[in-house]
Chain A
Amino acid sequence: MEKLLLLGDEAIAQAAIDAGLSGIFGYPGTPSTEIIEYIQASKEAKQKNIRSSWASNEKTAMEAALGMSYAGKRAMFTCKHVGMNVAADPFMNSAITGVNGGLVYISADDPSMHSSQDEQDSRYYAFWAKIPILEPSNQQEAYDMIHEAFELSEKFRIPVMLRITTRLAHSRAGVVIRQDKREQNQIGIPENPKQFILLPVNARRQYKELLAKQEGLEEASTKSVFNHYYEGENKSIGIIACGLSFNYLMENFTQTKCTYPILKITQYPIPTEMVKKLYQECDSILVLEEGQPLFEEKLKGFLNNGKKIMGRLDGTLSIDGELNPAKVGKALGLKVSEGLPVPELVAPRPPKLCEGCPHADTYRALNEAVADFSKGRVFADIGCYTLGALPPYNAINTTVDMGASITMAKGASEAGFQPAIAVIGDSTFTHSGMTGLLDCVVDNTPVTIIILDNSITAMTGSQKSSATGRIESICEGIGVAKEHIRVITPLKKFHEENVRIMKEEIAYQGVSVIIPRRECLVWLNKKRKEEKQRQKQQE
């Protein structure tokens, strides 16, 4: 028996390797990033020729994974929860096409928004698309469920979602690894040549097939080893514990036994019969779920005229934020232990741009270049440079979703609010800024777009950026006039010159692009270290 100490993310990656994965596709995003990084670093994956480089965005990644499934191979897709929004189109439609080789989508949610702009619950997407979900409660289950997910996917010819949250993704525990590793699938296209041609005539038939699969999928949930009914003699409350919340429940019963019946749910669709049994047996129901109250809403229904259902909707648990042992204990009316309060003098320590970060020099120049205009003109995006919203820079006015800088600047400019300036990172630009730039070019909208080229996707821990070495040619290809693509070096010694160039381009009544180019320092250090190590190994 081999036991490895693995992050939840790593357990998923190792499981996929062991389950005969041929390729993994994704775009970085906390807390999902380590899944693909693990495969990129794995010697075993290299030997097995598993493809694993980063995609430009979640949509391209998911479509490529679907293509690999079409060709008969097992494929996996990873993203952070908001990546599901970007991939929503292929996601919904791949439920209709169904799969050929096993296809597993991993979405990593971030309740409490440790490093995200919202706390959307990916299970809603899976319910919407009518595909099964596996929601592991610990690292071992995450490992085992990947095997099950591929089996389910191939048996029902449907994509399967594995939904995790930050606590599982970024927590380590011992995981028992299987010794019988599965071979990769052979190439083979779908038997039905129309399966992937979603003309309405085919799509209608495919959709009926998807609906017809539901009964079998629910039966699989009912029989699943991952869903479990724990009998209990105290029927005053029946507890439904989804995914990770099961652990928080159990943490409250380390000294005593839980006498309430518990239904542990980690596989969906919801196994109706198991829920009915609990509902009939108990006087009231408490629903514990990490994320939004999906299960609770379903159980309550629109009119809520049945038994008392407690959870996030009725205030027994807070409607937002992640769960923890104390919240769950209090929901059950248990006495929970308390520590000491945080002394008032403790100040928050928000993250900030590294000392010497290229973005800092860009913001210093930009602040000076726009000083003569009224405030509120800088539409920014998501990345390290979002920290420019904080003091001492106070340099940006919006951050909404990846790519929104360019398009929001466009809309504001079209409202007559000129000059309008967009600030976008290099990786974010190739993720979803290019089409917005095309819109600007087509309409010749007066905007100044600053593409911060630090050679890397820094925010998520230095992943290769699809933009590196291509930004000028992309902008030119899209139609930005060559003389309005200006490359500057964000360093103190060029400050005056950089301010001057920014002012010139801001004054230009058309589309202009400024590219401040200097490497991220964290990346630079990493590269140097790796280089040193390589030299040492050669010696």
Chain B
Amino acid sequence: MKIDIILCGVGGMGALSSAAIISQAALEMGMYMKQAETHGMAQRGGDVQSHLRLSDKEIASDLIPDGQCDIIISVEPMEALRYLPFLNKEEGWVITNENPFINIPNYPEKEEVLAEVRKVKNSIVFNADKIALDLGNPKGTNMVVLGAASKYLKIDLEKLENAVRSIFGKKGDAVVMANINALRAGREVADKI
């Protein structure tokens, strides 16, 4: 079994903490993994991405080869499009929040961006921000998106929940539960499709 995942967004939106949660779950499952990140200037609103590779066999490259990514998980729709050259165009999925993060003057029309995402064979575009907000956890968008993606990750939701417990445990039960609820709400969206 192998899963190649790209997690992406804009600095500070939590794309990299989603990566940490999947990694933790994979580690528990005894899988091999490699996770390459862009570091550096992320705090200043630039794009961030992480290549996360999981496999039951040893992994060679830190980078996912073009056209072989199984799933792009994005907290921002235009960012999801940036990594399409990596996507497996037949079987790969794009799961993304639908609300643009506009911090550049030339951000394209939202509807055009979403139309591009929908052109991908397998995609889920949804308002994860609203779900997070309704749960009283406005910073939980990344968890909602991850929850929706979990359906296609070949990793049980329960394993991701355990990973949330072990990563956020230090911050107390309230934080853990808020994140788990966001994960579950996201999963419900995917299950309904």
Contacts and interface: CB of A to CB of B under 8 A. Distances in A.
Contacts of B112: 345
B116 A251 contact: no
Interface of A is mostly: loop
Nearest to B170: A533
Given A250-B61, A251-B65, A351-B44, A340 B39 contact: no
Contacts of A387: 44
B60 A250 contact: yes
B61 to A, nearest CB: 4
A172 B35 contact: yes
Contact of A384 (B44, B78, B84): B44
B86 interface: yes
A457 to B, nearest CB: 13
Interface string B58-69: 011111011111
A245 B146 CA distance: 32
B89 A339 contact: yes
Interface residues of A, number: 49
B88 interface: yes
A171 B51 CA distance: 9
Among A31, A252, A340, A459, chain B packs the most CB atoms within 10 A around the CB of A340
A346 interface: yes
A187 interface: no
Contacts of A233: none
Interface in B29-48: 32-47
A174 interface: yes
Given A247-B62, A339-B66, A347-B104, A354 B43 contact: yes
Residue in A247, A345, A387 with the greatest tally of chain B CB atoms within 10 Å: A345
A167 B36 contact: yes
Interface centre among A174, A244, A326, A349, by most chain B C-beta atoms within 10 angstroms, is A349
Given A347-B106, A349-B10, A352-B103, A168 B44 contact: no
Contacts of B67: 336-339
A236 interface: no
A325 interface: yes
A330 B91 CA distance: 23
B78 A251 contact: no
B107 A338 contact: no
Given A30-B39, A343-B84, A347-B106, A337 B65 contact: yes
A343 B81 contact: yes
B78 A346 contact: yes
Given A339-B84, A341-B85, A352 B65 contact: no
Given A114-B38, A352-B103, A247 B44 contact: no
Given A345-B116, A346-B108, 7 more contacts: A31-B40, A173-B32, A174-B27, A325-B61, A329-B65, A351-B11, A387-B44
16 contacts: A31-B40, A115-B39, A115-B41, A172-B34, A174-B32, A249-B60, A252-B65, A324-B66, A326-B66, A339-B89, A343-B81, A347-B78, A347-B104, A349-B79, A351-B42, A387-B44
Interface of B: 10-11, 23, 27, 32-47, 51, 59-63, 65-69, 78-79, 81-82, 84-89, 92, 103-108, 112-113, 116, 120
